[in-house]
Structure 1
Amino acid sequence: MSSRRRLVAEAVERLREAGVPSPEHDAAELLAHVLGTTRGRLVLVDDVPAGRREEYAALVARRAAREPLQHLTGTAAFRHVELRVGPGVFVPRPETELLAGWAVERASHLPPPAVVVDLCTGSGAIAKAIADEVPGASVHAVELDERAHAWAVRNLAGTGVDLRQGDFATAFEDLAGTVDVITCNPPYIPLEAWESVAPEARDHDPHLALFSGEDGLDAIRVLARRAARLLRPGGVVGFEHADVQGDSAPAVFTAAGRWTEVRDHPDLAGRPRFTTARLAGPTEAAKAP
């Protein structure tokens, strides 16, 4: 057996014993990172130099301790863009690509320049994807946390995105009533769910990006008010939520009386994942329950 195959097999076993959800993928990804290649090209490697073996072993140990894979490689893929990530910023999840795709589709069908705002931007993932796929859009993003904002600065440099630091509850007052599409991946985990959160998120993602009151809906309630302020009549908002909030998250918007077409969407596994809604015009709002 080549040293490469032996190293990966041993790493897979160690990661599996540590409870890492995707040991085969992560073991291969880490070795590819160490060797400066891709997972697909690892088959071309037979023997791994001693120095690289030591570096690989150190990374595998950190992953076994449930440090996020993306923190170890320094990057995260998101739709068609690559992001720099590390301590202090929420690592974008594949599920969020669906919300970004919804926003891309909506913005693409609007006369340019569509005005798009990404609230709670974190690493800048959604904003960067929209700017990349809808180059005619006017994209704006805001992040409160200083460390996360610094990562967004790096990721959004050269994209044309208007990035600001501040509270999404008061941001973009200068755009009030003019925005076409709003996206948001807010904190939505209930405080009581602390123990059930995966170690990669609980111990390494900023808590500001994770937890949101006793029921996990505090930030979504703020979003319903802020989106109503920023959107033009007929503008749309989409936001992510926990898979157990498929009823409660849309209900926040339904109860507000400002929204129509409130609809929830599943992720690729069929679990409730994000809600979209359209801001009602004056006549529609008057008829809303």
Structure 2
Amino acid sequence: MITVGELLRDIRDTLEAAGIEHPGGDAELIVAHVLGESRGRVQALALLGAEVAPEDREVILDLASERARRVPLQHLTGRAPFRSLELHVGPGVFVPRPETEVVAQFAIDALQAVPDPHPIAVDLCTGSGAIALALATEVPTATVWAVEKSREAHAWATRNVELFGDGRVELVLGDVADLDPLGDARIPIGDETRAERARFHQDEGVRGGLATPRTLEHVQALAGLVHVLISNPPYVPDSMVPRDAEVRDHDPALALYGGADGLDVVRVISRVGRELVVEGGTLVLEHAESQGAAIRSLLAADGWRQAATHQDLTRRDRATTAIR
């Protein structure tokens, strides 16, 4: 038999040798996942000299070996914390990052300031649904629409929305480029969808949802009604392959790369947002620390006002906001 403390030390040493940034924390989370305990309880068990059953030890060491090969911890546990939520994630979906929690706060603050009793938000490139679900959870009067292009990511988002959406997150499988007013694939809106739009946004129907499947046509029909538009789009320039193996080898390329300068999708979102967002509404974009000035410039050129770039908790430029 081996104690929890001894096992944690062995795993920490293995992960440290593999170059894992937080080997001690990852060791505790792996053990907690297998034992079905909290991280704090694992720390307590280590102090108490508690022993680990052989079958649990084998599973723990297998997961630690995978982590040493730079498989993301979240893929091993199937969970990713995001603000007050613990989301389901895995291969095929971008793992939400702590810095995005700060970006989400700008959208939450903007939603809470909307005088409408039932504000509307749209999260483009939603991935696991992290931002959309944070908005719906922390602004319970809001209806949130979430759009994702990848079928694999959409599947993860569907699971998370079913668990945490409380009937207020409308998830759509589709490409934001198809909403682009300058694109060739612009979706025509028929009279029936316009009628659905009018019915849906009556006070008595806001919380009831649409009876028909959610499509990009329904998102396009929100033109001029959206109070907050937020996105964590792919923004890595095509030539800048991430150094971290967890990102480079496991995050989907569709969620990472945004063209030669990383801003191709941002340009589309800027144009789409000009149509969706109500006058005085807010746009929130996550981006790399070097992209703030370029994004402010392109937003201003598209007619957005008061573009401003904000830092995350590490004092790196992380988000740009603007007003319609």
Q: Place the TM-score, normalised by the shorter chain, in its bin.
A: over 0.9
Deviates more, 1:37-46 or 1:225-234: 37-46
Paired residues, number: 277
Per-residue CA deviations over 1:81-109 (Å, capped at 9, x if unaligned) read: 12100011100000001111111111112
CA contact (8 A) 1:220 1:252 kept: no
2:316 matched to 1:271?
yes
2:79 matched to 1:75?
yes
Per-residue CA deviations over 1:189-209 (Å, capped at 9, x if unaligned) read: 011111x34111111111100
CA contact (8 A) 1:103 1:181 kept: yes
2:276 matched to 1:230?
yes
Superposed CA RMSD: 1.3
**2:210 counterpart residue number:** none
Q: Which residue of 298, 305, 310 corresponds with 1:252? A: 298
2:130 matched to 1:128?
no
SS at match of 2:51: coil
Offset of residue 112 of structure 1: 1.6
SS at match of 1:269: coil
CA contact (8 A) 2:123 2:147 kept: yes
Question: Residues 275-286 of structure 1: matches in 2 within 5 Å?
Answer: 275-279=320-324
SS at match of 1:276: strand
Give the whole-Å Cα distance in 1 for the aligned partners of 2:265 and 2:243: 18
**1:282 counterpart residue number:** none
SS at match of 1:274: strand
Per-residue CA deviations over 1:234-278 (Å, capped at 9, x if unaligned) read: 11100100122132222221232x111100010000000010000
2:64 matched to 1:60?
yes
Question: Residues 12-91 of structure 1: matches in 2 within 5 Å?
Answer: 12-45=12-45, 46-91=50-95
2:246 matched to 1:214?
no
Offset of residue 47 of structure 1: 0.8
Give the whole-Å Cα distance in 1 for the aligned partners of 2:166 and 2:7: 40
**1:242 counterpart residue number:** 288
SS at match of 1:202: helix
Give the whole-Å Cα distance in 2 for the aligned partners of 1:19 and 1:190: 25
**2:198 counterpart residue number:** none
2:185 matched to 1:140?
no
Identity %: 47
Offset of residue 69 of structure 1: 0.6
Offset of residue 2 of structure 1: 6.2
SS at match of 1:243: coil
Give the whole-Å Cα distance in 1 for the aligned partners of 2:154 and 2:64: 29
SS at match of 1:147: helix
SS at match of 1:175: coil
Q: Which residue of 225, 238, 262 corresponds with 1:178? A: 225
Per-residue CA deviations over 1:1-23 (Å, capped at 9, x if unaligned) read: 96211111111111111111111
Give the whole-Å Cα distance in 2 for the aligned partners of 1:244 and 1:43: 39
**2:235 counterpart residue number:** 188
CA contact (8 A) 1:128 1:159 kept: no
**2:306 counterpart residue number:** 261
Give the whole-Å Cα distance in 1 for the aligned partners of 2:61 and 2:247: 23
2:110 matched to 1:103?
no
- TM norm structure 1: 0.93
CA contact (8 A) 1:191 1:211 kept: yes
Runs of 4+ in 1 over 4 A off after TM superposition: none
**1:159 counterpart residue number:** 166
Per-residue CA deviations over 1:116-165 (Å, capped at 9, x if unaligned) read: 00000000001111111111101111101001001111101152211111
2:173 matched to 1:168?
no
CA contact (8 A) 2:146 2:170 kept: yes
CA contact (8 A) 2:125 2:148 kept: yes
> Residue type of the partner of 1:275?
T
**1:94 counterpart residue number:** 98
User: Are residues 2 and 58 of structure 1, via their aligned partners in 2, closer, same or farther at CA, if it must alter by over 3 Å?
Assistant: closer
Unaligned segments of structure 1, at least 5 residues: 280-289
Give the whole-Å Cα distance in 1 for the aligned partners of 2:243 and 2:126: 21
